[in-house]
Structure 1
Amino acid sequence: MKKNVIKKFILYILILIIIIPVIINILMFLHIFPVKGEVDTWVSSLSSIWGAIIGGVVSGVLTLIGVQLTIKHNNELKKREEYPEKIFRLETVTDFLDKSNDEFEMLLAMDFGEKVNVFFVIDDNYQIIKTHKYYLFTDKLLETINKDIVYVDSKCYRIFFDTRRKINDLYQELMWDSEYALFEFTQDLIGEHAKKGIELFDIEWSTLALNEKQELELSNIKKNLYKNERKYIFHQSEIVKDMYYQLTDHYLKLIKEIDY
Structure 2
Amino acid sequence: MDRNLRKQLLFITIGILVLFPILINGLMFFNILPVKGNIDTWISTLGTFWGAIIGGVISGILTLIGVNITILRQDKKEIIKSYPERRKLGDDITLVTTETSRVLQYHIERKDWVEIYEYTEDLMLKRDELLTKASKVSDEVYEELRSKFYVYVRNFMFDVQTNPRDIKKIESYKEYFHDQSLKIYSLVDNVTEEYRRIKGK
Q: TM-score range by the shorter chain?
A: 0.5 to 0.7
1:186-224 deviations in Å (ceiling 9; x for gaps): xxxxxxxxxxxxxxxxxxxxxxxxxxxxxxxxxxxxxx7
The secondary structure found in structure 1 opposite 2:76 is helix
Measure, in 2, the Cα distance between the counterparts of 1:258 and 1:226. Answer: 50
1:88-109 deviations in Å (ceiling 9; x for gaps): 2112212333433443344245
1:56-76 deviations in Å (ceiling 9; x for gaps): 433332222222211211121
Measure, in 2, the Cα distance between the counterparts of 1:158 and 1:250. Answer: 15
Measure, in 1, the Cα distance between the counterparts of 2:184 and 2:63. Answer: 46
**How far off its partner does 1:255 sit?**
5.4
Partner AA of 1:163 in structure 2: F
Measure, in 2, the Cα distance between the counterparts of 1:39 and 1:247. Answer: 66
**How far off its partner does 1:157 sit?**
1.9
**Residue in structure 2 matching 1:162, options 148, 160, 176:** 148
1:112-151 deviations in Å (ceiling 9; x for gaps): 3xxx54378xxxxxxxxxx4444234x2354442131111
Partner AA of 1:118 in structure 2: V
Change beyond 3 A, Cα 1:163–1:62:
same
Is it true that 1:246 corresponds to 2:191 in the alignment?
no
**How far off its partner does 1:4 sit?**
5.4
Change beyond 3 A, Cα 1:52–1:154:
same
Contact kept? 2:87, 2:191, Cα under 8 Å: yes
**How far off its partner does 1:259 sit?**
2.3
Measure, in 2, the Cα distance between the counterparts of 1:85 and 1:239. Answer: 25
Partner AA of 1:136 in structure 2: D
Measure, in 1, the Cα distance between the counterparts of 2:12 and 2:60. Answer: 13
State the identity as a percent.
20
Partner AA of 1:11 in structure 2: I
1:24-54 deviations in Å (ceiling 9; x for gaps): 959x9444xxx5xx44333344345444443
Measure, in 2, the Cα distance between the counterparts of 1:119 and 1:226. Answer: 17
Contact kept? 2:80, 2:195, Cα under 8 Å: no
1:207-260 deviations in Å (ceiling 9; x for gaps): xxxxxxxxxxxxxxxxx7162575265345424433454345335425534629
Query: TM-score when scaled to structure 1?
Result: 0.54
Name whichever structure is richer in helix by fraction.
2
Determine the structure 2 residue equivalent to 1:65. Answer: 65
Structure 1's unaligned 5+ residue stretches are: 121-130, 180-223
Query: TM-score when scaled to structure 2?
Result: 0.66
**How far off its partner does 1:19 sit?**
5.6
Is it true that 1:225 corresponds to 2:165 in the alignment?
yes
Query: Cα RMSD (Å) of the superposition?
Result: 4.1
Measure, in 2, the Cα distance between the counterparts of 1:166 and 1:50. Answer: 64
Change beyond 3 A, Cα 1:93–1:257:
farther
The secondary structure found in structure 1 opposite 2:143 is helix
